[in-house]
Amino acid sequence: MTETGGTVYIETYGCQMNVSDTELMLGNLTSSGYTSVSAPDFADVILINTCAIRDHAEQRVIGRLGEMKSRMKKGAVVGVTGCMAQRLGAKLMERAGHVSVVVGPDGYRDLPSLIENARRGERGMSIEFDSEEHYEDFAPRRFDGVKAWIPVQRGCDYRCTYCIVPSTRGPERSRNLADVVREAERVVADGIHEIVLLGQTVNSYNDGTHDFADLLRAVGAVPGIRRLRFTSPHPNDFSDRVIAAMAETEAVCEHVHLPMQSGSSRVLKRMLRRYSREGYFECADRLRAALPGVALTTDIIVGFPGETEEDFQETLTAVDAMEFEEAYTFKFSPREGTPATRFPESEMVSDEVASERLARLIGRVRAASRTRNLGLLGQRREVLVEKPARRGGMLQTRSRDFKTVMIAGDHSLIGKYLTVELTGTTGSTFIGTVQHQREALPMAV
Ligand code: 5AD
Ligand code: SF4
């Protein structure tokens, strides 16, 4: 195999699941003799792991593919992987002559052979769904040294009317609990003590014998796991069992990313989210009652077909009521083939109106988080030092309840758990001063 090796560069777009897929692909390619490099210019193989969730995400990839054409070395193989590869298939190769490999989320096992063929001038594609595929035998090559993403479920069986994911990632399937636990043990042995379980609707996890409650308890019981998170859950899959497991598993952090999408029951119904405004509130209340101090973050779409100003007002009042730690906000982007594109033309919200609503929503979210964060100054948090901050020579740390806290210190603190006092806020992030330092847990044997 090694005679076929060379250097490979992978660029990743989209969600954490895609980041995790890149780790799997790189693990597999390095064990097939490739060496990973951090720039495309001299790589023998360039892969773009893509996202299809909004048109904007796809346009970025198209722009980047154009750039690669002029930057890549002669004879390099260019491949497109992930959700956009699945969505567009052969069209990608027709449109971009320099792309010779197209592989969807269930086809990564075929990558080494497709790349080999491409090196001999044969273009190839793998876009079949495989409802058994979990890449169990791939050893992921992780880039984050302090937390590990572990995929526990692939695909999605919900049919939210705006969403392309069911058609890019195929049917929902869950990994065996024992395999997930084994991976968690390996992660701890590698010196990582924070785990994020990944799935499209992660709390609907079910391996045929165990549900998500069992999974949380089992992973939380792995010696050395200090923090356990998961993303993204669906509000309807927070059974009492799951909430009890969260409350009773010490490692489970006081943070839930709970996508709301809209605060209007009428819009939620048209989105086929399968809960109402009240249903969402009730779910948030149950989480708050069981996990004191839990921080909620969310995703919200504005400008969904048929959304009126009244509907949008309901989203604003829901944001006020929910006191989200953070809201990731998007303008609706019609995705070819999804049910939301079939609403009558007259119901489409103009880009102008959607942009204006988005700006108002962001303003509201920011104002609320600023007020709340000012009120938290003086409090203490345990933080994990994650990485150098982008500015000011500071370090970026994260609390269990998902607050970003910048602290002064040198790189040797990365991976350590510290207690900090929240001394300042920019509105969304905090500045902290270190109170005392506790060593990260020793490596498990
Ligand atoms: N348009 C805009 N936003 C979307 N999302 C998913 N599909 C679309 C779309 N067609 C958002 C949802 C989801 C997040 C990952 O992306 O809010 O939770
Ligand atoms: Fe992730 Fe969805 Fe984008 Fe695919 S389309 S990369 S699942 S966000």
pLDDT reported for residue 66: 93
H/E element, 186: helix 177-189
DSSP secondary structure code for residue 235 in this structure: G
Q: Please tell us whether the domain made up of 6-126 is placed in CATH 3.40.50.12160.
A: yes
Which DSSP string do the residues of 368-434 spell out, in sequence order?
Answer: HHHHHHHHHTT-EEEEEEEEE-SSTT-EEEEETT--EEEE---GGGTT-EEEEEEEEE-SSSEEEEE
Q: Is 197 helix (H, G, I), strand (E, B) or coil?
A: strand
Pocket test residue of 15, 198, 257 for ligand 2, highest count of atoms within 8 A of CB: 15
Element (DSSP H or E) covering residue 322: helix 309-322
Domain 147-374 identical in fold to domain 380-437: no
330 CA from centroid of ligand 2 (Å):
14
Let me know: does 174 contact 205? Beta carbons within 8 Å: yes
CA distance 196 to 187: 11
SS (H, E, C) 101-163: EEECCCCHHHHHHHHHHHHCCCCEEECCCCCCCCCCCCCCCCCCCCEEEEECEECCCCCCCCC
323-374 pLDDT, tens per residue? 999 999 999 999 999 999 999 999 999 999 999 999 999 999 999 999 999 9
Domain boundaries, the chain: 6-126, 147-374, 380-437
52 lines ligand 2 (CB under 6 A): yes
Spatial CA neighbour of 232 closest among 144, 158, 132: 158
Q: Which CATH class is domain 380-437?
A: mainly beta
Q: What is the CB < 6 Å shell around ligand 1?
A: 53-54, 162-163, 259, 261, 299, 301, 330, 332-333, 335
Angle between helices 16-31 and 111-119 (to 10 degrees): 60
Residue 162 CA: nearest ligand 1 atom is: 10
Answer yes or no: CATH 3.80.30.20 is held by domain 147-374: yes
pTM of the prediction? 0.95
Give the separation between CA 162 and CA 21, rounded to whole angstroms: 23
Tens digits of pLDDT across the chain (445 residues): 444 689 999 999 999 999 999 999 999 999 999 999 999 999 999 999 999 999 999 999 999 999 999 999 999 999 999 999 999 999 999 999 999 999 999 999 999 999 999 999 999 999 999 999 999 999 999 999 999 999 999 999 999 999 999 999 999 999 999 999 999 999 999 999 999 999 999 999 999 999 999 999 999 999 999 999 999 999 999 999 999 999 999 999 999 999 999 999 999 999 999 999 999 999 999 999 999 999 999 999 999 999 999 999 999 999 999 999 999 999 999 999 999 999 999 999 999 999 999 999 999 999 999 999 999 999 999 999 999 998 888 999 999 999 999 999 999 999 999 999 999 999 889 999 999 665 544 443 3
Position of tokens 């699945």?
Answer: 86
- Give me the residues paired with residue 14 across strands: none
For residues 275 and 266, what is the distance between their CA atoms, to the nearest angstrom? 10
